[in-house]
Amino acid sequence: MRLTVVGCCGSFAGPAGAASSYLLEQEDEDGRTWRILLDLGSGAFGPLQAHIDPATLDAVVISHLHPDHFLDLTGLEVFWAYNARDLPRLPIFAPDGLAHRLRAVLGREGDVPDGVTCLPFDHRPIRDGQEIEIGPFRIEIGAVRHTVESFGMRVAAGGGVLTYSGDTDTCDRLLELARGADVFLCEAGYIEGRDDRFSGVHLTGRRAGEAAAAVGARSLVLTHIAPWTDPEVTLAETRAVFDGQITMARPALVVETESVRALP
């Protein structure tokens, strides 16, 4: 399974890249490449087009309804609804209420864009414990700890496992989702000390590292670092508690679960 970081900036798009969006690709036994997106936050639909033709997406899974994780679905919807090609309805797995939220942003009554006759998106609510199958991907959904209903995901495909934290503070469900993951794509939005007055919102480098160590993750990719945070501080916090492979997410970073599994 191949992960491509489309955007990884924490909380809002930054000067060097978009907010959260991660592309996963996996070939099936017939050689067809399946593509799913985990989140499509502010600014991420732009760089997505530099990586793939968005029409080749098979589904999108949204972790929670904060704009830095779903807002660029507005761009994807325009692309899908008004495309010269006749595209099949795209499954969008998301917390309940996404369709309503998009209607509010777009200022319209229903889910059908003006001037077209059919729905571009097939909205499918997600819940804790749900198992989703999309081509070769098996996705386990788990409710994590954030300021709004928020979900992490454990994605298995091609013999590899990638866990995405979504936005969360420390919680048991995150550990269940990340058990033995080849790639643990984990947010570290806060800094120890600086952000101690907030709880139940984000992890820090240290808390992400502690989670990775607790579950025996093979590698940790730290993400959701805001522009006002020095990533070296986050990295140092993590290194102090996790001695596995650590990578800072950056736009266009590619990680293959197969190469992680081949590590000594």
- Which residues of the shown chain bind Zn ion in the complex (CB under 5 A)? 66, 68, 167
Task: Say which DSSP state 229 is in.
Answer: S
Q: Confirm if 31 and 60 have CB atoms less than 8 A apart.
A: no
Nearer to Zn ion, 68 or 72 (CB): 68
Task: Say which DSSP state 56 is in.
Answer: G
The answer for residues whose C-beta is within 8 angstroms of residue 195's C-beta and 6 or more apart is 202, 204
Nearer to Zn ion, 67 or 75 (CB): 67
Question: What is the spatial distance between Cα 242 and Cα 217, in angstroms, rounded to a whole number?
Answer: 10
3-class DSSP state of 30: coil
Nearer to Zn ion, 68 or 169 (CB): 68
Least distance CB 202 / Zn ion (angstroms): 8
Least distance CB 168 / Zn ion (angstroms): 9
Spatial CA neighbour of 152 closest among 80, 103, 73, 95 = 95
- Alpha carbon 247 to its chain's center: 16
Nearer to Zn ion, 62 or 235 (CB): 62
Starting at the edge strand that comes first in sequence, how are the strands of the sheet with 59-61 ordered?
121-125, 90-94, 59-61, 33-38, 21-27, 2-7, 254-256
Least distance CB 126 / Zn ion (angstroms): 15
Least distance CB 221 / Zn ion (angstroms): 15
Least distance CB 66 / Zn ion (angstroms): 4
Nearer to Zn ion, 168 or 257 (CB): 168
